[in-house]
């Protein structure tokens, strides 16, 4: 376990806090394959939050292994959060104690952004706190252990599986935040991604790109709906798997999606495990 001390942060100097970093990874050559910008933004929001609510104290940044995940944390010795407000801090524009001075306003916005980014990276963000003693914010990221296989052990079946794994997926979605979530998830699983902002773009991209292996089709989109796009795609491509992304929950709506040409559907908000199972079913059944 190594420890680094930081004292140059302006917020830290203003609050007279000591910031330390403790992690088993500091003295290793471990490389984390993730979205640098999202990860940096999570830490930035958590650190700013810790600085805002801590004076003459200590803020610790660290990480630890937990199964197939890496769990990061930012721990402070600040004012803490009342137990009945632990979940509210992740709501936008909500703070732990509504009687705090104006210098402590804006508690929820940064935390809600950090939580959303952690979920985009395939994990989550949560807090443990005791009023008057400080808070610890945790977030986790899935970890893939890469083991090098000898080239001569690769069978034709292994090569076929690898080719299927690195298939190209067309994500048709007009919501940028949800698209980034899917992009990070799918790229982490080894898929190539192309993006269409509406159904019309999805149809044209599929006409001109024979390498696309599957379509994740949002049903509600501008210009052309996912429903109409699916109908048009089926006039020239009967084979490509199309998975509808829909918030509709009625059995009749689901049946309609299958009737117009969708192979399957997934309800929103998308659950990571459910999506992975669908991809294994339609793109990589041997996996």
DSSP 8-state class, residue 52: H
Residue 31: predicted pLDDT: 66
Q: How far apart are CA 169 and CA 283, in angstroms?
A: 9
What was the pLDDT predicted at 171?
Answer: 94
Higher pLDDT, 159 or 176: 176
Residues 6+ apart with CB under 8 A from 252: none
Domain boundaries, the chain: 2-142, 151-282
Read off the pLDDT of residues 169-202 as tens digits, 9 standing for 90 and up: 999 998 887 888 888 888 877 888 999 999 999 9
pLDDT band of 105, cuts 50, 70, 90 = very low
What string of H, E and C letters represents the secondary structure of 68-134? CEEEEEEEECCCCCCHHHCCHHHCCCCCCCCCCCHHHCCHHHHHHHHHHHHHHCCCCEEEEEECCCE
DSSP label at 205?
H
Assess whether the region 2-142 and the region 151-282 belong to the same CATH fold: no
Top-confidence residue, 27 or 127: 127
> Mean pLDDT, to the nearest integer, of 233-245?
93
Mean of the per-residue pLDDT values of the chain: 78
Greater pLDDT, 240 or 83: 240
Residue 94, pLDDT > 80, answer no
Q: Which fold has domain 151-282?
A: Rossmann fold (3.40.50)
Q: Which long-range contacts (CB under 8 A, 24 or more apart) does 143-152 make?
A: 143/32, 143/65, 143/68, 143/69, 143/70, 144/33, 144/68, 144/188, 145/68
What pLDDT score does 252 carry?
65
Please enumerate, as own/partner, the contacts of 225-231 that have beta carbons within 8 Å and a separation of 24 or more.
Answer: 225/199, 226/172, 226/199, 226/202, 227/199, 227/257, 227/260, 228/199, 229/172, 229/199, 229/200, 229/202, 229/203, 230/257, 230/260, 230/261, 230/262, 231/260, 231/261
Q: Which residues are paired to 218 by β-bridges?
A: 245
CB contact at 8 A, 129 and 86: yes
Confidence of residue 250 (pLDDT cuts 50, 70, 90): low
Q: Tell me: the pLDDT tens digits for 146-155?
A: 443 444 444 5
Average pLDDT over residues 57-66: 90
- pLDDT of 215-224, one tens digit each? 999 998 999 9
Fold of 2-142: Heat Shock Protein 90 (3.30.565)
Q: Which two tokens stand for residue 245?
A: 């992304």
Tell which wins on pLDDT, 68 or 43: 43
Buried b or exposed e, range 206-235, using 16+ CB within 10 angstroms: beeeeebbbbbbbbbbeebbbbbbbebbee
């Amino acid at each position: 376990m190594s420890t680094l001390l930081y004292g140059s942060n302006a917020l830290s100097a203003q609050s007279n806090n000591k910031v330390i970093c403790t992690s088993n990874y500091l003295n290793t050559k471990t490389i984390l394959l993730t979205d640098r910008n999202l990860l940096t933004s999570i830490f930035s929001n958590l650190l700013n939050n810790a600085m805002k609510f801590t004076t003459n104290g200590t803020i610790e940044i660290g990480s630890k292994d937990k199964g197939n995940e890496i769990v990061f944390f930012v721990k402070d010795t600040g004012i803490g959060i009342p137990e009945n407000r632990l979940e509210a801090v992740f709501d936008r524009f909500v703070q732990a104690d509504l009687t705090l001075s104006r210098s402590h306003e804006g508690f929820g916005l940064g935390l809600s952004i950090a939580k959303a980014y952690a979920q985009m990276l395939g994990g989550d963000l949560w807090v443990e706190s005791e009023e008057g003693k400080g808070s610890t914010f945790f977030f986790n990221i899935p970890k893939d252990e890469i083991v090098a296989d000898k080239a001569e052990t690769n069978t034709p079946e292994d090569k076929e599986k690898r080719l299927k794994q690195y298939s190209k997926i067309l994500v048709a979605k007009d919501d940028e935040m949800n698209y980034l979530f899917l992009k990070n998830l799918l790229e982490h699983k080894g898929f190539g991604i192309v993006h269409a902002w509406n159904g019309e773009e999805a149809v044209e991209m599929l006409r001109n790109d024979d390498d696309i292996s599957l379509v994740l089709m949002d049903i509600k989109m501008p210009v052309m709906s996912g429903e109409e796009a699916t109908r048009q795609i089926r006039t020239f491509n009967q084979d490509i798997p199309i998975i509808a992304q829909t918030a509709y929950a009625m059995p009749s709506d689901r049946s309609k999606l299958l009737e117009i040409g969708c192979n399957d559907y997934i309800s929103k908000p998308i659950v990571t495990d459910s999506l992975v199972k669908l991809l294994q079913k339609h793109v990589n059944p041997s996996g």
